[in-house]
Amino acid sequence: MINDLRGLLEALDRKGRLRVVNNADWDLEIGTINELMAEKQGPGLIFDNIKGYPAGFRVATNLLHHEVGQRIAFGFPDDLSRLECVADWKKKWNGFKPVPPVEVQNGPVKENVLTGNDIDIFKIPTPKWHTLDGGRYIGTGVITITRDPDEGWVNFGTYRVMIQDKTTLAFYASPGKHATIMREKYWAMGKPCPVAMCFGQDPLLFALSTMPLPWGISEYDMAGYIKGQGVEVVIDDVTGLPIPATAEIVACGFSPPPEEDSRPEGPFGEWQGYYASGTRNEPVVQIKKLYHRNDPILFGQPPVKPPVNTWFPIPIHSATFLWNELEKAGMMDIRGVYVHGPGDRIIAVVSLKQRYLGHAKQVATLAGAFLQGGACTGRYIITVDEDIDPSNLDEVLWAVTTRCDPEAYIDIVPGFLTSPLDPMINPDKRARKDYTTAKVFINACRPYHWKDKFPPVNTAGPELRRKTLEKWSDLFANV
């Protein structure tokens, strides 16, 4: 498997999916090129000779907005369907046995180590991505590493990071995120929280950083398990935190209690396609040591307005967890789970074989409760029969429009947690921090009481289709 960002770039290049762009400006030009290319589902981009910066100090973007990059990063073969990728990831996940990181003395990340007055984060050609962004966001494809002060385990999570000045970064981690909980524990003890932020790394580490692993499970241990060998780390002597030995750029330092230092953060072009959370004061990290490789590459994964996906095109970050939670809750005969909409987080579809009266409703209700990990914005839950592929939104809509009488089979339930990034939080609710939303449950399964009398589907049966395709194979060869 790939062990660093450069490995992903090489693999994309081999597939003809990488372009070098010279002489772009960090001020909105890189961001806009990235946006246009992502919308066109075009290749990954590596920006070099950025205006005002020396050659070699690069920015890589649009690597994971497209399925090709995700398949390389996760090792999914091209012939695995999207739903099969979700099922495969779910299986891996369930066999988890921790494989801890391996400490090494040296690694490419230590090629340049800056301290004291030599630290200047503006050395890195950080783009201003979107027109109304409040500043330059170095952390979009970031992993932020923290250690729990009580239990000692190491977490990483992706939380956006805005440059404040040459040694200060503000970071936005929502309530309940693991880094939020950990930093609050340090502050409660009157201590600053040690933090390491990597701005370019092995894509698998980035992917895990964006996923809601349970409290207490280190993303390092999960990465080691998936790779079949421990991730190589060097220990930062200032914070004591393990940092990936092959990372491109790592800023290590401390986050003081917010009453000591916090700075305006935002607005930022967010993943739902708006600047919804505006500007607020957020905690900062004061950088004490800056590591970078020779000719470092900043990895950018800035949000782009949907339907471009800021998370992953194949929703292993949301569907896998939902599917697992439903099965853990004892739900039987779940045939597939998929999540669509912005970020692949908003519309969950569960395909099931109805076994008993109320089965679909029970599954839907649980799915509504569980569809929250990472960003609590899941608003629609659709249940469909087992003949519907939940990853195919056209098929799902066929079921919704032909198997669901809205009067009887749609429920709207208010009061679920959403997120400050939800654009539908009106100003009054936002002022009182009421981040709640209703959820819509659409039962598009054939009505249970008369499902056996439901009109049959008008396609040829599987056997007839197989035989016909076999006999007329020439006709269908290149269709």
Q: Which of residues 53 and 370 has its CB atom nearest to ligand FMN in the complex?
A: 370
406 prior amide bond cis, ω within 30: no
Residues 6+ apart with CB under 8 A from 477: none
Reduced to 3 states (helix: H, G, I; strand: E, B; else coil), residue 42 is coil
Quick check: 372 binds ligand FMN (CB under 6 A)? no
Question: Could you tell me where the DSSP H helices lie in 107-218?
Answer: 178-188, 203-209
CB 285, min distance to ligand FMN, A: 14
CB 271, min distance to ligand FMN, A: 7
Q: Write the binding mask 273 to 312 for ligand FMN: x where contact by CB under 6 A, - elsewhere.
A: ----------------------------x--------xx-
CB 87, min distance to ligand FMN, A: 21
Stretch that binds ligand FMN, among 206-214, 242-250, 287-295, 428-436 (CB under 6 A): 206-214
194 prior amide bond cis, ω within 30: no
CB 171, min distance to ligand FMN, A: 8
Which listed residue (336, 374, 378, 390) binds ligand FMN by CB under 6 A?
A: 374
Report d(CA 74, CA 272) in Å as an integer: 24
Provide the β-strand partners of residue 339.
348
Stretch that binds ligand FMN, among 77-85, 177-185, 351-359, 439-447 (CB under 6 A): 177-185
- Residues of 300-318 as b/e, b for ≥16 C-beta within 10 angstroms? bbbbbbeebbbbbbbbbbb
Report d(CA 67, CA 165) in Å as an integer: 36
CB 369, min distance to ligand FMN, A: 17
Stretch that binds ligand FMN, among 171-179, 283-291, 331-339, 460-468 (CB under 6 A): 171-179
How many Å is the maximal CA-CA distance in the chain?
Answer: 78
Q: Which of residues 37 and 173 has its CB atom nearest to ligand FMN in the complex?
A: 173
Q: Give, as ranges, the residues between 375 and 394 that touch ligand FMN (CB under 6 A).
A: 375
Distances (CA, A) of 334 to 137, 441, 466: 41, 17, 26
Percentage helix, strand, coil for the chain under 3-state DSSP, each rounded to 5:
30, 25, 45
Quick check: 218 binds ligand FMN (CB under 6 A)? no
CB 375, min distance to ligand FMN, A: 6
30, exposed or middle or buried, with CB in 10 Å at 0-12, 13-18, 19+?
buried
CB 419, min distance to ligand FMN, A: 8
Q: Which of residues 249 and 445 has its CB atom nearest to ligand FMN in the complex?
A: 249
Which residue lies nearest ligand FMN, judged by its C-beta?
A: 157
Quick check: 212 binds ligand FMN (CB under 6 A)? yes
Stretch that binds ligand FMN, among 90-98, 101-109, 208-216, 287-295 (CB under 6 A): 208-216
Report d(CA 122, CA 166) in Å as an integer: 6
Quick check: 178 binds ligand FMN (CB under 6 A)? yes
Stretch that binds ligand FMN, among 170-178, 220-228, 257-265, 384-392 (CB under 6 A): 170-178
Q: Write the binding mask 128 to 167 for ligand FMN: x where contact by CB under 6 A, - elsewhere.
A: ---------------------------x-xxxx-------
Q: Give, as ranges, the residues between 309 and 328 that touch ligand FMN (CB under 6 A).
A: 310-311
Distances (CA, A) of 108 to 234, 250, 258: 10, 11, 34
| DSSP-assigned letter for residue 451 | G
Which listed residue (34, 126, 164, 210) binds ligand FMN by CB under 6 A?
A: 210
Is residue 445 within 8 Å of 360, Cβ to Cβ?
Answer: yes
- Hey, what are 345's tokens? 């987080």
CB 29, min distance to ligand FMN, A: 21
| Rounded CA Rg of the chain | 24
Quick check: 173 binds ligand FMN (CB under 6 A)? yes
Q: How far apart are the first and last CA of the chain?
A: 35
Q: How many residues bind ligand FMN (CB under 6 A)?
A: 19
| DSSP-assigned letter for residue 128 | B
CB 57, min distance to ligand FMN, A: 22
Tokens 């249970």, residue located: 448
Angle subtended at Cα 249 by Cα 213 and Cα 123, rounded to the nearest 5 degrees:
140
Q: Which of residues 108 and 266 has its CB atom nearest to ligand FMN in the complex?
A: 266
Provide the β-strand partners of residue 352.
334, 385
Report d(CA 44, CA 38) in Å as an integer: 9
Provide the angle, in degrees to the nearest 10, between the axes of the packed helices 319-328 and 359-370.
130
CB 44, min distance to ligand FMN, A: 15
Is residue 106 within 8 Å of 234, Cβ to Cβ?
Answer: yes
Stretch that binds ligand FMN, among 130-138, 210-218, 275-283, 357-365 (CB under 6 A): 210-218
Stretch that binds ligand FMN, among 76-84, 172-180, 192-200, 410-418 (CB under 6 A): 172-180
Stretch that binds ligand FMN, among 169-177, 256-264, 439-447, 454-462 (CB under 6 A): 169-177
Reduced to 3 states (helix: H, G, I; strand: E, B; else coil), residue 343 is helix
Instruction: Tell me which residues touch ligand FMN (CB under 6 A).
Output: 155, 157-160, 172-174, 177-179, 210-212, 301, 310-311, 374-375
